[in-house]
Amino acid sequence: MAEVIRLKAVSRKCNIRNEHDVKQKFIQACENLDAAVFEPLISKQDYFEDLDKYRFLEKLKNIVNTVKLKGIMETKLVMSTCSGCEIGHNVHEFHSDNGVEFAYMIMEKNGAVTDIFRCGSSLGMDKSKPYEPLDREFYNSFKKFLDNKFSSKRSSDNG
């Protein structure tokens, strides 16, 4: 008989009195592109996206700052559906005039928020965009480097 091994035992239960506020403040933080709005509502013991409070907030801040670098100052919430790992689950997409900037899934059980994590497979996502380009300049430079490397290799192979 196969043995089940559990690699981590992290409590995902939030120690927050009003769970509705957690969800609403997270949405507000994403719409206003301000991670600081969400910070006071979560405790050090809360884990979202398998990250502790500070790592989760840092990741959220990086995401909203990347959007701000494009000159976007706010997003609008549009509900969508996951077409990937949680097929059919509600996804919160955050749109600018350019389309979906990022999307999150908010998992709830009995009215309590149990997890919040990025969704790269919501129906509104442009699948041609990189999933999480936290540094667009680096991504473009690296892509150009790879394109040049492989195009010069093909040229030398043909010549």
Indicate the DSSP class of residue 3. P
Distances (CA, A) of 115 to 19, 20, 48, 136, 143: 12, 13, 5, 27, 33
Exposure string of 28-57, with b = 16+ CB inside 10 Å and e = fewer, is: ebbbebbbebbbebbeeebbbeebebeebb
List the domain boundaries for the chain.
19-128, 131-159
Q: What is the pLDDT along the chain (159 residues), one digit of tens a residue?
A: 445 444 443 444 444 445 668 899 999 999 999 999 888 888 888 889 889 999 999 999 999 999 999 999 999 999 988 888 788 889 999 999 988 899 999 998 887 888 999 888 777 765 545 545 445 565 566 567 767 766 655 555 555
Counting Cα atoms < 13 Å in the Cβ hemisphere of 68 gives: 13
| Structure-block tokens of residue 66 | 């990347």
Confidence at residue 5, expressed as pLDDT on a 0 to 100 scale: 46
- Does the 19-128 domain belong in CATH 3.30.1050? no
pLDDT at 72: 94
Residue 152 pLDDT: 58
User: What residues contact residue 126 under an 8 Å CB cut-off, 6+ apart?
Assistant: 99, 100
What is the pLDDT at residue 127? 54
The pLDDT of residue 54: 92
> What pLDDT is stored for residue 73 in this prediction?
94
| Residue 120, CA distances (Å) to 4, 115, 130, 133, 147 in order | 29, 16, 9, 12, 25
Q: What is the pLDDT of residue 122?
A: 75
